[in-house]
Structure 1
Amino acid sequence: MVDTGAEYSVVTQQIAPPMGNEVDIMGAMGVSARYPFLASRKYSLGGHNVEHQFLYMPECPIQLLGRDILCKLQAQITFLPGGHARLDLPESGSSTRQHNPASQETQPVKIAVIMPREEEWRMAPTPPVTPDPYTLLLGIPGVWAEDNPPGLAVNIPPVYVDLKPGATPVALRQYHIPQKAKQNIQTHLQRLKDHGILKFRVSPWNTPLLPVQKEGTQEYRPVQDLRAVNEATVTLHPVVPNPYNLLALIPGDTKYYTVLDLKDAFFCIRLAPASQPLFAFQWEESTTGARHQMTWTRLPQGFKNSPTISGCALSQDLLSFNAQPDKVVILQYVDDLLLASSTEKDCLSA
């Protein structure tokens, strides 16, 4: 809709990424809110091309061509007898919109967006999520992280961690952990010990645990400060792909997508017994006060090479995935998988 009373032109769909600059807009009910400008794009209206930044307002009932873009186009609006209005654009002929309040045949002024092919997905409608997530949970309970221990990458050999030349054991004292956090963390550590991911081990290495509170809850989880170990070990060359280039591999005709987040994927990869002492930490029981060292039998979180090792291991396992490239595309980013297909059936079967 052409709106000469609007200072900014508005779109209700995010046709480009936000630029970071925002503006306060006063709504019809007198409530003010901030909205972002989108990145500049080329547009075509009545044969006239212009580059412009639109204001993104998803709550707006209709898209608006405001004074900003009308001025760029040097548009002229002429009101004619009989309630008609004509929009004229210099050097590009004229685009006429017949407006009659009593008629339902009014044709809107249309503007075309010229955008790179890799961003055409912004204009695609989002299909509903199917099937219902709770149906999936009940139908195949064995694959979900809830109430199940981490799996084991049986085809991946135990990982050996190489030390830098001259590296010696580092033993750092454990930070104080409040009793409230200690009780939560002990439950978490006991669960990992029951699954064989942690075990008691005396080691000359020791790095501290940090209590991190889960946002919006009273629960805490342990995060090991492995900076000293990361400094003493050899860094592997990272093979993590660029997300932008990865998403550009999705065919334009895909409509259905499945995203799989492999929770605790690092814990699926065994750590060689000779390397386990590197990741030891001290723990004090919350009930008895007894102190002992524990270490990981699986690839620990916080270790600098864990994402690279895990990503390579997952890529190796995916070689046996019987996908049909003409029907299903599978993309991997570290421990996240995206399956894309043009049909719901092919997406679910994959």
Structure 2
Amino acid sequence: MPLTVGGKKIDLLVDSGAAHSVITGEDAISVSQLKVTDKSRCTVGATGHSAVEYFSEPMKCETEEGRIMMHSFLISENCPINLLGRDLMCALGLSLTSSPDGVVVTESSLSCPQLGQEEELHELLKLYPKLTEVPQTLWAKTKYDVGLIKNAEPVVITPKSSFRPRKAQYPLKPEALEGIKPVFHSLLKAGIIVPCNDSPVRTPQPDDWRFVQDLQAVNAAVVQRAPDVPNPYTILSQIPSNCKWFSVVDLANAFFSIPVHKDSQFWFAFKFGDRCFTFTRLCQGFCDAPTIFNQTLKNSLDSLVLSQNSAICCYVDDIILASTTQQQC
């Protein structure tokens, strides 16, 4: 969406998943009225690495329809594209509406969203008969369902030193516990979480101190691998220009498809109720999770042979298959 910011016209991607609107460092240089403040936010990108980034002073913003307002942007050297986040969406009254033609951005003081009946899987199969040829094991049965990448090497975590982070268990509200239980029991049933009766090191007094599930503390205590998550623009450039058909697979709970070595599982230990548990699979929030998953998925797909004029691209837990014909795709 085009927007004139501080006298400079720039394009922003409308992103309802972004809390703050973002201007890249490259575009920020061209906005003469932009001044950076001391107000900051800690941001985490797709690689899992955090960075402290700063806000601009409020600047005059004008839409193509002539609406004018003052707004402050987060200036980012890590984000590859300008983002129009929820803060500006609310201020401008923007909405994202889903329709058969795709997602449409609407700007209106009165929004009349199009309502439709949610389609079940069997209804989708009627609309797209080709989906019946897809093995049923591909589909996640529930939102907590997980898979396992064949021949994935169990993750071994290398500590920086003999230090092992520990943190006191903080209390949870009853409603929070009730909300966590369905997720917890699903993961427990799947073997993603297992009871952890014995601590690998002596825990300090009092007894309610434990190994942390605060992965920021864990991340600071381990040797991090070199980041290996490709730039999405680089990935998309691999798609042949004559491709017209695309299949997209969003892997459910993708990081949980990679096992953690038994000797490293204690890093993810936590307490729920009056018992200790730990994860047997790779956890989201662990600093190396995106890199490990990207490498493992890439290795798993290396033996795949595609037809001519076809390409497969992977970005973290999303896989896109592009081809020139529907049959090949």
For the structure 1 residues 200 and 337, does the alpha-carbon distance in structure 2 shift closer, same or farther, using more than 3 Å as the test?
same
Given candidates 250, 271, 278, the residue that maps to 1:295 is 278
Count of matched residue positions in the alignment of Structure 1 and Structure 2? 215
Given candidates 309, 312, 316, the residue that maps to 1:330 is 312
Q: Which residue of 2 aligns with 1:109?
A: none
**Structure 1 residues 1-350: aligned runs within 5 Å:** 17-18=11-12, 22-23=62-63, 25=65, 132=127, 136=131, 140-147=135-142, 149-164=145-160, 166-201=161-196, 202-203=198-199, 204=203, 206-208=211-213, 225-284=214-273, 291-324=274-307, 326-347=308-329
For the structure 1 residues 135 and 253, does the alpha-carbon distance in structure 2 shift closer, same or farther, using more than 3 Å as the test?
closer
Q: Which residue of 2 aligns with 1:43?
A: none
Structure 1 unaligned residues grouped into runs of 5+: 1-15, 27-31, 40-56, 60-128, 209-224, 285-290
For the structure 1 residues 253 and 161, does the alpha-carbon distance in structure 2 shift closer, same or farther, using more than 3 Å as the test?
same
For the structure 1 residues 184 and 18, does the alpha-carbon distance in structure 2 shift closer, same or farther, using more than 3 Å as the test?
closer
Question: Contact 2:246–2:323 (CA<8 Å) still a contact in 1?
Answer: yes
Partner deviation per Cα, 1:233-281 (whole Å, 9 max, x = no partner): 0000011111112111211111111111111111111111100111101
TM-score computed with the length of structure 1 as normaliser = 0.55
Of structures 1 and 2, the larger Rg is shown by: 1
Question: Contact 2:255–2:282 (CA<8 Å) still a contact in 1?
Answer: yes
TM-score computed with the length of structure 2 as normaliser = 0.58
- Report the secondary structure of 1:275's partner residue: helix
- CA shift, 1:333, in A, is 1.2
d(CA) in 2 for partners of 1:131, 1:256: 19
RCO (CA 8 Å, sep 6+): is it higher in 1 or 2?
Answer: 2
- Report the secondary structure of 1:345's partner residue: coil
d(CA) in 2 for partners of 1:167, 1:259: 44
- Report the secondary structure of 1:282's partner residue: strand
AA aligned to 1:150 is V
Question: Contact 1:167–1:232 (CA<8 Å) still a contact in 2?
Answer: no
Partner deviation per Cα, 1:204-240 (whole Å, 9 max, x = no partner): 45224xxxxxxxxxxxxxxxx3011000000000111
Percent identity of the aligned residues? Answer: 33
For the structure 1 residues 306 and 247, does the alpha-carbon distance in structure 2 shift closer, same or farther, using more than 3 Å as the test?
same
AA aligned to 1:334 is V
Question: Contact 1:198–1:297 (CA<8 Å) still a contact in 2?
Answer: yes
AA aligned to 2:280 is T
- CA shift, 1:313, in A, is 0.6
Q: Which residue of 2 aligns with 1:49?
A: none
Q: What value does the CA root-mean-square deviation take over the aligned residues?
A: 3.4
d(CA) in 1 for partners of 2:128, 2:173: 37
Question: Contact 2:270–2:278 (CA<8 Å) still a contact in 1?
Answer: yes
- Report the secondary structure of 2:263's partner residue: coil
Question: Contact 1:327–1:346 (CA<8 Å) still a contact in 2?
Answer: no
Question: Contact 2:150–2:300 (CA<8 Å) still a contact in 1?
Answer: no
Structure 2 unaligned residues grouped into runs of 5+: 1-9, 14-22, 24-60, 70-81, 83-103, 107-123, 204-209
- Report the secondary structure of 2:65's partner residue: strand
